[in-house]
Amino acid sequence: MSATESNSLPLWVQHRDTVIGYNRQANIDWRTGSPPDYSRGNENLAKESICNHVEGSLESIVQNLVRTFEMEVSFKTNPQQWLSVVQDKFRVSTNGDREFDAVELGAKGTYNTFMADSEHYKSSEESFESSHKTFHSAFPQGFPWELLEVYSGPPTVTFKWRHWGHFRGKYKDFAPTGETVEIIGMSIARVTDDLKIISMEHYFDNSLFLTRLTAGGKVTDDTTNKSGCPFNQLSNPLSNPLRSLFNRFKKN
């Protein structure tokens, strides 16, 4: 199989699973040792996506490209194996902050380049692994991404998107609310003639995102058992007749 399928579209702008299938034949350095399985994510997308873009449309092509890019950053440890970008030129930034190249992005991960240092998240103190653990714990059913609109086509692609997930696990030491947390953002991607990404700028309100993740308040451990087994109250002999009875038998 070549990197261009029979429909004449480059591989990296086809469905993410097609890219993964092609990569199974290559000697890819997978972060987890094997290709990712997006079957559950695909089911969630089918149920919860707002948009259903026509296959082969500009919207579908851009969405596929970004999803492939995210997959490669998350699961391929060697940026030289990323098909979706121009490795030696690629740069990415968020909200006008500093740019990261492909090697830095692969080391830090998308969460840490998306999120600036703030009260409730210190990207400078997080690793790739710790950041993924944090957000995967908060969103155990996943945090899918979809494209909403494309405002301009190649070579400078401007588009609107959303991330969303069901907040059903702890975020650090903050309790889950069970709510659906959504991020709406915009991005500008500069691409080559064959639709590889040269640079990408993301814009979204990450402070609003963290406000939603901390809305449940901090988790506290309630060690008081008000209605549990009476044997848990043996520490107070005056209020526990069982201890007094035990002591009577002990004396005899």
CATH number of 11-213: 3.10.450.50
Write down the domain spans for the chain: 11-213
Q: How far apart are CA 165 and CA 140, in angstroms?
A: 9
Higher pLDDT, 213 or 247: 213
pLDDT at 240 over 80: no
Residues 6+ apart with CB under 8 A from 248: none
| pLDDT in the model for residue 137 | 96
CB-based contacts of 163-167 (< 8 A; 24+ apart in sequence): 164/48, 165/138, 165/139, 165/141, 166/139, 166/141, 167/138, 167/139, 167/212, 167/213, 167/216
pLDDT at 134: 96
What pLDDT is recorded for position 222?
54
The yes-or-no verdict on residue 235 having pLDDT over 70 is no
pLDDT at 236 (0 to 100): 44
| Euclidean distance between CA atoms 173 and 221, whole angstroms | 11
* pLDDT at position 92: 98
Mean pLDDT of the chain: 87
Question: pTM, whole model, 2 decimals?
Answer: 0.83
pLDDT tens digits for range 107-158? 999 999 998 899 999 999 999 999 999 999 999 999 999 999 999 999 999 9
